[in-house]
Amino acid sequence: MLATRQSLTSFLQRSTRANASLSQNLFLSTKVQVEHGRGQWKTYGDIQNFQENKFQVQTFNKISPVGLGKFPADKYDVRTGDSEAANAHAILLRSHKLKEEEVPHTVRAIARCGAGTNNVPVARMTELGIPVFNTPGANANAVKELVLCGMFLGSRRIVDGINHMKDLGSQGLARERVEKDKAMFGGRELSGKTFAVIGLGHIGASTAKDASALGMDVVGYDPGLSVTSALKLPRSIQLADSIVSAVKQADYISINIPYIKGEGGTHGIIGKDVISNFKADAVLLNFARGELVDSEAMKVHLDECNGRYVSDFPDDLLWDHKNSLILPHLGASTEEAEDAAASMAAETIKNFLEKGTIVNSVNFPETSLPDRPENAVRFVCVNQNLPGMLAHITEAFAKANLNILQQINHSRGEIAYNVMDVDITDHDDVLSFKEVQEVITMQEGVLSSRIIFGKAGQGYAKNLMGEYFV
């Protein structure tokens, strides 16, 4: 009986290998043709430096080598510094203020190594069908530590004391006055004080947790609190129903919300109506964005009360106020944060270019389809979020006698994003996607399409105001 089982197992193993080999041979026998570069559009840059069959990534600013190391050299051509990158497939940046003219038609995606994307023309990139990614949480620990530092700086006049001692030292009076003058810089402890956290995302939740560990009573406000962030909050936290109710009894207030322009945005959200509810000696910590605070209203409060304002954003009104501390923009300026943000951005770009996956995008819907089957070609389409668009796309495949094995369609605002795996078995020796891609791309409402198969960088097409770019 044992010998029979061994023989059966051996037979099944051989049969499985044979079927797999047969399937692979059938798959490989079908040559897939993908169009790439029609006429003058094949390359815009220096042909001598153009590396075919690689994804070209253009970087602005100095990006962490740890992050850039995530791009394998055999598949990616990373252009740093002033290197020509006229055929870039993706852009990676930090603080560089990106202009539309710096984005070639070949660009499929943009990623910022950081949380905020106000230095990227997101609305225009959305119109062009280009996803913009960020790296939420990558610098959370670095910013949180600076917020905590700000609380300590705002609790005691440490900076004033340091400057005073330097002045005494220059006069040779430091030893004589070190004890006598300490009363000039008295302060208070954090333990037992109330800390209001406005915005409970990665940074806010982490700051709230550490403040609670310091013995502070924490109050939080976030109308869009996620389950993930909620699980990170200290159990003792009290949740307020408005910014005003959160700050009324707070000794320290930390802003941790994004800056959003326009009607209904967050410009000047900490204005007179909020600041008028501050305690006289409240310390406001702003390591989010300078534009969130109404500087004039804050100045009135600092003039009339004994509060403090601590921020790492420049402020023309408050920079030299005796009750304000304006630091360089140091929030994410740690080696660890820069490595983490660059690594996250690189992985996001890789997953998008190689698999079509959307995660951590500020303008596209989160989208992920299981790995492409071996007998399929992945087709990605970006279109305006209009009725009937998906039907038109699938109809084009049906007319080309192509079967869709799996697909996903998600939308966000005015953008719809489609990922489809198209079966290539049971076809002749050569299967061309050239015609069907052009038919789909040139439909009204379609912005771009991409075939993820074969050589890196190929198979991208755009509808440029009725002109076909491939």
Kindly give the confidence (pLDDT) of every residue in the chain, 470 residues in length, as a single tens digit, with 9 standing for 90 and above. Answer: 333 334 434 433 444 444 444 344 444 445 666 665 554 544 556 666 777 889 999 999 899 999 999 999 999 999 998 888 888 999 999 999 999 999 999 999 999 999 889 899 999 999 999 999 999 999 999 999 999 999 999 999 999 999 999 999 999 999 999 999 998 998 999 999 999 999 999 999 999 999 999 999 999 999 999 888 899 899 999 999 999 999 999 999 999 998 888 888 999 999 999 999 999 999 999 999 999 999 999 999 999 999 999 999 999 999 999 999 999 999 888 999 999 999 999 999 999 999 999 999 999 999 999 999 988 999 999 999 999 999 999 999 999 999 999 999 999 999 999 999 999 887 655 567 889 999 999 999 999 999 998 888 888 999 998 889 88
Residue 162: half-sphere exposure toward Cβ, Cα within 13 Å:
5
How far apart CA 390 and CA 440 sit, in angstroms, is 10
Return all residues near 286 (Cβ < 8 A) that are at least 6 apart.
255, 270, 292, 293, 309, 310, 311, 313
Q: 451 with 458: CB under 8 angstroms? A: yes
Kindly provide the b/e burial profile for residues 365-394, where b requires at least 16 CB atoms within 10 angstroms of the residue's own CB: bebebeebeebbbbbbbbbeeeeebbebbb
Tokens of 297: 């209203």
Return all residues near 245 (Cβ < 8 A) that are at least 6 apart.
221
Closest among 175, 104, 138, 95 to 460, alpha carbons compared: 104
Pairing of β 132-133 and β 109-112:
parallel
pLDDT of residue 38: 57
> What does the radius of gyration of the chain's CA atoms come to, in whole angstroms?
29
Calculate ∠ Cα 193-195-200, nearest 5°: 160
Q: Please name the amino acid found at residue 466.
A: G
How far apart CA 404 and CA 438 sit, in angstroms, is 18
Tokens of 342: 């660059």
pLDDT of residue 226: 87
What's the length of the chain? Answer: 470
pLDDT of residue 68: 97
Closest among 294, 244, 305, 233 to 266, alpha carbons compared: 294
CB atoms within 10 A of CB 91: 26
Calculate ∠ Cα 131-133-135, nearest 5°: 170
Q: 253 with 283: CB under 8 angstroms? A: yes
Alpha helices in 276-426 (DSSP H): 295-304, 335-355, 389-399
Give bridge partners of residue 56 from the DSSP assignment.
Answer: 77
How far apart CA 264 and CA 408 sit, in angstroms, is 32
Q: What are phi and psi of 123, to 5 degrees?
A: -60, -45
pLDDT of residue 229: 87
Return all residues near 224 (Cβ < 8 A) that are at least 6 apart.
none
Return all residues near 434 (Cβ < 8 A) that are at least 6 apart.
33, 34, 35
- Coil, helix or strand at residue 426: coil
How far, rounded to the nearest angstrom, does the alpha carbon of residue 398 sit from its chain's CA centroid?
37
Tokens of 154: 């705002």
Tokens of 451: 């075939």
Task: Give burial (CB, 10 Å; 0-12/13-18/19+) of 183.
Answer: exposed
Tokens of 285: 């910590």
Tokens of 345: 């951005």
Q: 121 with 99: CB under 8 angstroms? A: yes
Q: 358 with 129: CB under 8 angstroms? A: no
Return all residues near 235 (Cβ < 8 A) that are at least 6 apart.
none
Give bridge partners of residue 187 from the DSSP assignment.
Answer: 156
Strand order in the sheet with 308-311: 238-239, 217-221, 194-198, 252-255, 283-286, 308-311, 324-326
Alpha helices in 178-325 (DSSP H): 202-213, 227-230, 243-247, 272-275, 295-304
How far apart CA 292 and CA 309 sit, in angstroms, is 13
Tokens of 379: 């087709």
Closest among 74, 105, 107 to 92, alpha carbons compared: 107
Q: 442 with 381: CB under 8 angstroms? A: no
